[in-house]
Amino acid sequence: MKKNNKALKWIVNLCFVFISFIALFPVFGLIVSSFRPSSDLMRSGMSLTFKFSELSLDNYLFIFTQADSYWQWYINSLIISSLIIVLSLFFSSMVGYALALYDFKGKNFVFTLVLFIIMVPFEILMLPLYKLMISFQLIDTYLAVMLPLIVAPIAVFFFRQYALGLPKELMDAARIDGTTEYGIFFKIMMPLMLPSFAAMAILQGLNSWNNFLWPLLVLRSDSMFTLPVGLATLLTPYGNNYDVLIAGSVMTIIPIVILFIYFQRFFISGLAVGGVKG
């Protein structure tokens, strides 16, 4: 029995090594490729065999010295994503908190609405929304990119699930102490909800940093592009900017990795609350 177990352990662990290899290989491939001559890459693809002598920093030198528009995209993405994280966490947590801890008329209706909107694909509303942005004259602005993401139903749902587990007695105690309803939320309950904030920061950060179709619609000029939209313009068979595309792709991953490392210890516990009761 014991021997059997040991063999099983080896097999399972080897399987995981293999699976992790598959998961990581493309990312490593990208990083290694970013040090190779970019013109070769798109023509002949990423190859398992290459000469170490052809590795160089050329792509990065180019991107740091001559790719001004790349850095403009980077700044656009950073601004838009940080604003989305801050605003969407602020608004979504307020809504989720009220849905969990207050009793008011229409509460169940609103919660059902939240669940319903999660089920409606954004892309179906995309055309009328696009028309709306045109009539608001918001085309080619940060605001147009951000608006649909500011109150995220999925985040509302997670915050509600998390807030359900908070002690309601604290609210009554605070009321007796003369704290206002808003003071209770901002000073007492919000700090208690921090783990869910961390989890949602990762989720919303990922969503906005990698958001593609909507920015593609509402952004027109090169100087307003976000990273995914900008990089996509380089992803053509006729382009000659593969150095920016490859090295630039590597550098888009950095902020999101930092965000993840920073918040990751709350991530699983945050997900657990939302998912399990879901």
Partner 1 sequence: MVNDPITNKIEESSKERVYRKPGKLAFLNSKKVAPYVFISPFILSFLILTLYPAIQAFIMSFQRVLPGNVEFIGLSNYERVFNPTFYLALKNTTVYVILTVIILVVIPILLAVFLDSKLVRFKTIFRASLFIPSLTSIIVAGTIFRMMFGESDSAVANQVVGFFGLEAVDWRYNSWSAMFLMVTLASWRWMGVNVLYFLAALQSVPKELYESADIDGANIFKKFRYVTLPFLKPITIFVVTISIINGFRMFEESFVFWETSSPGNIGLSVIGYIYQEGIQQNDMGFGAAIGIILMLIIFAVSFIQLILTGAFKRSDE
Q: Which of 54, 213, 239, 262 binds partner 1 (CB under 8 A)?
A: 213
DSSP string of 158-180, one letter each residue: HHHHHHHTS-THHHHHHHHTT--
Residue 105 to residue 107: CA distance in whole angstroms = 6
CB nearer to partner 1: give 83 or 271: 271
What residues numbered 154-193 form the site for partner 1, per CB under 8 A? Answer: 156, 175-178, 180-183, 185
CB 156, min distance to partner 1, A: 6
Q: Which of 120, 143, 173, 194 binds partner 1 (CB under 8 A)?
A: 120
Distances (CA, A) of 272 to 158, 183, 277: 10, 28, 8
CB 181, min distance to partner 1, A: 4
What residues numbered 21-40 form the site for partner 1, per CB under 8 A? Answer: 22-24, 26-27, 29-30, 33
Q: Which of 55, 78, 83, 94 binds partner 1 (CB under 8 A)?
A: 94
Distances (CA, A) of 59 to 46, 49, 69, 156: 16, 19, 15, 42
CB nearer to partner 1: give 114 or 200: 114
Does 224 engage in binding with partner 1 (CB under 8 A)?
no
Which residues, 6 or more positions from 28, have their beta carbon under 8 angstroms from its beta carbon? none
Helical ranges in 67-212 per DSSP H = 68-101, 107-119, 122-135, 142-146, 153-164, 169-176, 181-183, 190-192, 194-210
**Between 193 and 212, how does the x/- string for binding to partner 1 read (CB under 8 A)?**
-------------x--xx-x
CB 251, min distance to partner 1, A: 10
Does 252 engage in binding with partner 1 (CB under 8 A)?
yes
**For the chain, how big is the Rg over CA atoms in Å?**
23
Does 20 engage in binding with partner 1 (CB under 8 A)?
yes
Nearest residue to 227 via CA among 30, 24, 79, 37: 79
CB nearer to partner 1: give 207 or 223: 207
Does 112 engage in binding with partner 1 (CB under 8 A)?
no
Residues near partner 1 (CB under 8 A), total: 96
Structure token digits, residue 138: 């918001």
Q: Which of 63, 67, 99, 201 binds partner 1 (CB under 8 A)?
A: 99
Q: Which of 4, 7, 51, 119 binds partner 1 (CB under 8 A)?
A: 119
Does 55 engage in binding with partner 1 (CB under 8 A)?
no
Q: Which long-range contacts (CB under 8 A, 24 or more apart) does 227-235 make?
A: 227/73, 227/74, 227/76, 227/77, 227/252, 228/77, 228/252, 229/73, 230/69, 230/70, 230/73, 231/73
Residue 207 to residue 146: CA distance in whole angstroms = 11
Q: Which of 83, 151, 170, 190 binds partner 1 (CB under 8 A)?
A: 151
Span interacting with partner 1, options 8-16, 60-68, 78-86, 137-145, rule CB under 8 A: 8-16
Does 257 engage in binding with partner 1 (CB under 8 A)?
yes
What residues numbered 58-87 form the site for partner 1, per CB under 8 A? Answer: none
Residue 97 to residue 116: CA distance in whole angstroms = 18
